[in-house]
Chains A and B, each alone.
Chain A
């Protein structure tokens, strides 16, 4: 058999190939296949954000994008394994439905409006200061209480310890005592 289309007909190639239906059928793309994690610029050692087992995760980043999240085999807790939620972590951080812009709904408004992050931060700070002053309780039933019941907070239990710490510290200094967490619920 010489050249021409017949020799390239895959069934011929597969059947006559020195390694049967294997090597001869491979495309150039197939030949170049490697696990994409090999190309990662960085690998971060992380922890799954779902339940409290605390499975180790390795987060692979290439060109500023997360390319893979999978189990950390070194973890004595998880030994590299993940459940469906943990295994879906890449989608958690990259899915198109993720909201990445500040949104604002004015009182009695019917739609969201865009808002600049810095402006939002200033507006929120203004409201905290104003509400705190307006609702300040120096005493209650004759006792010093130094607090506001006008500002409350509720946190989820995926907050980092450092975040909870700053939250509790700031709220307490402000006199806001209705500070709660999923941990009670």
Chain B
């Protein structure tokens, strides 16, 4: 956090000064490690072992926050008797199909729940098909509001007992054997976490892509969620699980997604096989209880925002204008489509996959096989210049004169040359004022897409396939000489309007009958009463610490989600010290916006057949879930199991000591010549690598390498190795090393440091190498270097299709890499053994 979010880290430093104890768990000793109470070096790719051992520690010592757990989680819920745990099946859950590598999740359901209807789609269970869990998780898929339960937590089929058994072998000894963390260090952590949880205290977990970029990434976060729920640390001040996101509006980019599987507000894109029409789609997509029970209002309002008067009840509000998914259409599938020639045209906007995505060579081969490519950026990023300076030109694999890709480079406006909102890592929307016009041909992406849309519409006729475009609402006021579309008008459309054109004040006003329109239901209220709430700037010195009058957080300007859980079931603060949102006898109140219906009393109990939020009791804080509970066990929605389970990374030098199952059985591999894998446990690739970032640079360097003030601070690509590893290989500090995987060999400067230590896993020594990935070959940067992301393979988490770039294996050689054909020979020797 000090390394990549230094200004956010001021609050950690401040908490520490006030007595908070801070641990840092990371394969790499970073600037964060230097400034905490205790740093724990961990082998990359083993965090579920550590988190699982903490869960086990809590459960076996009876340290869970029992009142919270009983009232607010599904600990007591009974699970289907046919469910089999990984303890029974040596690392598999029930329902696994060896042939397809997919799970049928029907046995994971709650007792009494009818398993979901099997759909006739390729590969069986549909959950893994469309990165569905990205939305399933949010909309609390398929579980009943009040399933059978055992409040004594003794029934072997209740979640609590299943959990206990599942993690029983996640011991301090196992942590030492797999993570390389000594038992005394584990105990120190476990004691601190549990001592700082409960009525009087809370513990927060903070993570970043070190937890997500794994073939079992979603389950890392799930593991933290289980721990935090058991300790009562969700929905309370000083608690939670904080995703530190690495880009200014990466949160916004999922809220209003440019993601294949989602529509704005985590609404699932329709699937060709699963959905026939709007009604069928709404029936299939989630539960009727909890706030997702209102999804018709959200979806219809979105369709009204997009197709306006053309969207009527008679035509399903133009639901059929939405294109249909049939499987994984994610980034890596798209790249394979490029290599195969099915993807002809590609827009890359403020992104640099030639350097930033796993297996950079596959990315560049894809780019080289397009008909046309549009790149919009501040500088000539490698994705724009690959045809003249990609590494494949040097090796002879590509020749500039033989690359048929037509490339348009369009310069972008910077953040000060356009207005609009970013959504930060805390869901806070902040409006940026425009300081000045962009220079020359530079334009905002808003300008580009708006004017491109206008031009496309002019070129379309009256064909049936053109109507979704010609009927699209696309009339935004144009401002100034450059004819910028009015970003505030777009934000107003996102916020939504009533039938009379009045801006909506709250998502509760959204109607399922087509009388309201709203571009993103979770953002409804950002333009309440016609006021741009994201532009509010009451200084922190003039308001309380929750600072509700600075910007606007979705939903409804709430700063802590699920904050009903900050009070006990009766609505009283758990303690005076941790008082936040509470029931004052007539309403919920506190310094934040309550994440609950203001007048729903703690003793409210739903009537039979109640729908949406009315189906949740006054004691159910997790209002997006169908049962209002925090899910320790996830009965549906995940592709790789209801409980987080340790699997080794796809490429690992270590055998999975917990199960016969080595890696995530449901992980997605791409078995193609462009994407060869290092064999697991291969002596050819004995070292563990992880990739990282530095304070001085940003992602692929497009916003830092061209800047002399940043480039001089970290001018060359380097790797960090321990003294012991340097000695073993013969690496010299300041000299060069060549890093080899089955995909690539790259050269980096060597930084030998005592900060990196060999890990001792029960006698076996494992060396890790750490590589910041900010460099690339384009001379658009003041400094250049080899592309670290050429090393990782494409192997994906089955839920969200994120790549495993934070843990892999490699070999390391002293000196610079060979050039030209000799480089390919080196890689081939490794690949073919």
Contacts and interface: CB of A to CB of B under 8 A. Distances in A.
Interface of A: 42, 44-56, 59, 61, 64-66, 69, 72-79, 81-86, 88-89, 91-93, 95, 97-112, 115, 117, 120-129, 131, 134-136, 138, 140-141, 143-185
Given A108-B402, A145-B324, A168 B440 contact: no
B205 interface: no
A151 B258 contact: no
A135 B465 CA distance: 12
A75 B550 contact: yes
A65 B343 CA distance: 41
A154 B348 contact: yes
Given A125-B459, A175-B323, A178-B260, 20 more contacts: A46-B415, A47-B424, A51-B247, A52-B244, A59-B416, A86-B7, A107-B405, A110-B400, A115-B408, A150-B344, A155-B445, A157-B252, A158-B247, A162-B420, A165-B493, A167-B449, A168-B256, A170-B449, A177-B329, A184-B802
A166 B424 contact: no
B249 A149 contact: no
B425 A46 contact: no
B249 A161 contact: yes
B7 A154 contact: no
A128 to B, nearest CB: 6
A48 B330 CA distance: 29
27 contacts: A46-B416, A50-B247, A51-B5, A53-B7, A74-B538, A78-B7, A84-B710, A92-B414, A99-B780, A101-B441, A105-B409, A120-B408, A128-B456, A135-B342, A140-B326, A146-B468, A148-B323, A150-B345, A156-B349, A166-B446, A168-B264, A172-B468, A175-B323, A177-B260, A177-B325, A179-B258, A184-B802
B401 A97 contact: no
B162 interface: no
A97 B465 contact: no
Contact of B465 (A79, A136, A165): A136
Contact of B323 (A72, A115, A145): A145
A84 B387 CA distance: 33
Nearest to A79: B540
B415 A166 contact: no
A127 B249 contact: no
Contact of A59 (B322, B331, B337, B435): B435
A52 B249 contact: yes
A147 B343 CA distance: 12
Contact of B334 (A106, A129, A152, A156): A152
Given A50-B698, A144-B272, A147-B323, A184 B331 contact: yes
Interface string B440-474: 11111110111111011011100001001100101
B491 A161 contact: yes
B221 interface: no
A181 B800 CA distance: 12
Given A53-B5, A161-B421, A144 B324 contact: yes
A162 B490 contact: yes
Interface stretch (B351-359, B505-513, B608-616): B351-359
Contact of B411 (A102, A106, A172): A102
B641 to A, nearest CB: 21
B4 interface: yes
Nearest to A149: B342
A51 B248 contact: yes
A102 B487 CA distance: 23
A126 B459 contact: yes
Contact of A124 (B351, B408, B443): B408
A183 B409 contact: no
A95 B350 contact: no
B390 to A, nearest CB: 13
Contact of A173 (B249, B411, B469): B469
A170 B472 contact: yes
Interface stretch (B68-76, B233-241, B699-707, B723-731): B699-707
A110 B404 CA distance: 11
Given A97-B379, A169-B472, A183-B250, A53 B425 contact: yes
Contacts of A180: 258-260, 330-331, 334
Contact of A54 (B248, B263, B334, B491): B248
Contacts of B407: 103-105
Interface string B755-787: 000000000000000000000000011100000
Q: Nearest 6 CB-CB pairs, A to B? A: A54-B424, A156-B350, A160-B420, A157-B247, A74-B539, A76-B540
B378 A98 contact: yes
B433 A162 contact: no
B374 interface: yes
A92 B703 contact: yes
Contacts of A185: 331, 353, 356-358, 802-803
A181 B421 CA distance: 17
Contacts of A166: 446, 449-450, 453, 485, 490
A154 B346 contact: yes
B704 A85 contact: yes
B746 interface: no
B436 interface: yes
Contacts of B32: none
A127 B329 contact: no
B343 A159 contact: no
B604 interface: no
Contacts of A157: 245-250, 252-253, 350
B733 interface: no
B306 interface: yes
B388 interface: yes
Contacts of A146: 320-324, 465, 468
Contacts of A49: 248, 414-415, 422, 703
A184 B453 CA distance: 25
Contact of A155 (B264, B349, B519, B695): B349
B254 interface: yes
Interface in B154-168: none
Contacts of A140: 272, 324, 326
A111 B406 CA distance: 12
B251 interface: yes
Contacts of A138: 465
Contacts of A44: 416, 432-435
B422 A47 contact: yes
B668 to A, nearest CB: 13
Nearest to B356: A185
Contacts of A126: 459
Contacts of B353: 154, 185
Contact of A164 (B252, B272, B442): B252
A183 B408 contact: no
B8 interface: yes
Contacts of B444: 160, 163
